[in-house]
Structure 1
Amino acid sequence: MMFGDSYCYTGGKTFDPALPTVVMIHGAQNDHSVWALQSRYLAHHGFGVLALDLPGHGRSRGPALRSVGEIADWLLGLLDAAGVTSAALVGHSMGALIALETAHRAPERITRLALLGATYPMKVSDTLLDAALNAEGDAIDMVTIWSHSSYAQKPSFPGPGFYASGMTKHLMERISAQGEPQLFHTDFTACNSYANGDSAAASVRCPVQFIFGSKDMMTPPRSTKALLAALPGARTVTVDAGHQMMAEQPDAVLDALLAFLR
């Protein structure tokens, strides 16, 4: 479904803003398809789903936005265009920062926050930033390797017909081919420069759930202590996966989301 220049996948159902709305926000160099194994189920079980493509990603027209704050403002405008007065936000990695900042800017509109693969500060290494700027193929290879546990590698991946790390790599390559130059660097810079996490976390009044991957090398559990301390009432679920947990452990992630959203 298009809202102006912005595309949202609705899980195979016509979007109905009268249903409880779940907005699903992808991470760097990704699009709505990272939620394919959760969004469709939610849409067919009582939720209105908007799995969005950020500006300049996937089917949403650009340009890509340069900061988490800009994207949060864009997201609130998207909710207006969709006729949504309140929503639960589900964000992965960079998307988790966007969800957190959106809840800070419009706390009265956000009913729940589910943060997957989240940490703050979300610092990106100089090596990865340089690769994203000057050798994007190398950056894609790095992120592909670091985003998956060994469990996800073919042929041991539990989802028939899916090859998690191959899917991740090809998605990032497709986004690179379709998007503006250095899009990966733009996304990583937005993560790296986001500095409002402490204030945003302190302002959250809705229920919060973290979903962590026990083998996550991009946002490892040890890096999340500050964010957990800033949200002491949050629920925490850990799944046996790397950073791309939605593909590696789709059922475990869906079960955690359902229990939280209901």
Structure 2
Amino acid sequence: MLLDVQGKQAYCYTGRKVFDAALPAIVLVHGAQNDHSVWGLQSRYLAHHGHAVLVPDLPGHGRSAGPALTSVEAMADWLLALLDAAGVQRAILGGHSMGSLIALEAAHRAPAKAAGLALLGTAYPMKVSEALLETSRSNEEAAIDMVNIFSHSSMAHKPSCPGPGFSVMGGARRLMQRMSARNPEQLFYTDFAACNNYANGEAAAAGIACPALFILGSKDMMTPARSAKLLTGAVKHGTIVTVEAGHSLMTEAPDAVLDALAGFAASAYAT
């Protein structure tokens, strides 16, 4: 689905269902150097089980027009504008990694729009090492390789992979390379710098009134579970689910992530 958001074209995947804003809505936001495809399994299931699903490509990512936005705050404002363009009055706001900060800030800025908040692979502060920041600026291909290695718990395929010959790590690497090819304006550095500079996380979390779900990977080296303590401690109505995965938990533990999201959606909209 294509929408006009802040005067530019924005693409949203809807789980291969016609979008119906009257249904209980769920918005899933991807992380740095990614696009909507990282939510493939979860988005399709939720869309075929009674939800209006919006999975946007952020500006400058995937099929959405650029330029990429340079701060979490600007991306949160864009996300709220996207909801307005889609006619969504209230939604569960979910996000992975950088996307989790965007969802958090959006819920803070417009609490009436947040039926729930789902933060996956999150951390605050989400600091990026100077070495990785510089590598993302000077040698994006090397940064992609570094992050891809750190984002997976092992090179071995998990039982939940789609089938023989499917490479979780290889797929993630190709996605990041495709994002670079589509947007050569130092997209990785822009995303990383936005995460590194975001400073409102703890205050935003403290003001969240809706139910919140944290899905954390037990083997996550990019955003270890301990790095989420400022957020989990500040949120008043939060539940923590730990899955056996690294940072790329939607692909390494897709069924466990889906179970947690589906259960949370049912309970959030039941209240």
Shorter-chain TM range is over 0.9
1:54 aligns with 2:58: yes
| Secondary structure in 1 matching 2:126 | coil
Superposed displacement of residue 223, structure 1: 1.5
Give unmatched runs, 5+ long, in structure 2. Answer: 267-271
Q: Which amino acid aligns with 2:162?
A: P
| Secondary structure in 1 matching 2:161 | coil
| Secondary structure in 2 matching 1:50 | strand
Give unmatched runs, 5+ long, in structure 1. Answer: none
Preserved CA contact (<8 Å) 1:157 1:163: no
Q: Distance in 2 between matches of 1:227 and 1:115?
A: 10
| Secondary structure in 1 matching 2:259 | helix
The percent of aligned pairs where both chains have the same amino acid is 62
Superposed displacement of residue 153, structure 1: 2.5
Deviations 1:150-203 (A, max 9, x none): 1x524x553133311111100000000001321000000000000011211111
> 1:30 matched to which residue of 2?
34
The number of aligned residues is 260
> 1:153 matched to which residue of 2?
156
1:66 aligns with 2:70: yes
Q: Distance in 2 between matches of 1:233 and 1:83?
A: 27
Q: Distance in 2 between matches of 1:78 and 1:259?
A: 25
> 2:265 matched to which residue of 1?
261
Q: Distance in 2 between matches of 1:153 and 1:174?
A: 23
1:247 aligns with 2:251: yes
Preserved CA contact (<8 Å) 1:66 1:186: yes
Q: Which amino acid aligns with 2:263?
A: A
> 1:225 matched to which residue of 2?
229
2:174 paired residue among 170, 176, 179: 170
Deviations 1:182-238 (A, max 9, x none): 100000000000001121111100000000000000000122221211114310000
Deviations 1:28-79 (A, max 9, x none): 0000000001100000000000011000000000010010000111111111
> 1:3 matched to which residue of 2?
3
Q: TM-score, normalised by structure 1?
A: 0.97
> 1:213 matched to which residue of 2?
217
Q: Distance in 1 between matches of 2:115 and 2:160?
A: 33
Q: Distance in 2 between matches of 1:172 and 1:205?
A: 35
Preserved CA contact (<8 Å) 2:11 2:56: yes
Preserved CA contact (<8 Å) 2:206 2:236: no
Q: Distance in 1 between matches of 2:52 and 2:202?
A: 30
Q: TM-score, normalised by structure 2?
A: 0.94
> 1:101 matched to which residue of 2?
105
1:188 aligns with 2:192: yes
Q: Distance in 1 between matches of 2:171 and 2:119?
A: 22
Q: Distance in 2 between matches of 1:171 and 1:244?
A: 13
| Secondary structure in 1 matching 2:202 | helix
1:203 aligns with 2:220: no
Q: Distance in 1 between matches of 2:243 and 2:236?
A: 20
> 1:80 matched to which residue of 2?
84
Q: Distance in 2 between matches of 1:20 and 1:232?
A: 23
Superposed displacement of residue 127, structure 1: 1.0
1:123 aligns with 2:127: yes
| Secondary structure in 1 matching 2:115 | strand
Q: Distance in 1 between matches of 2:156 and 2:147?
A: 15
Q: Which runs of 4+ in 1 moved over 6 A?
A: none
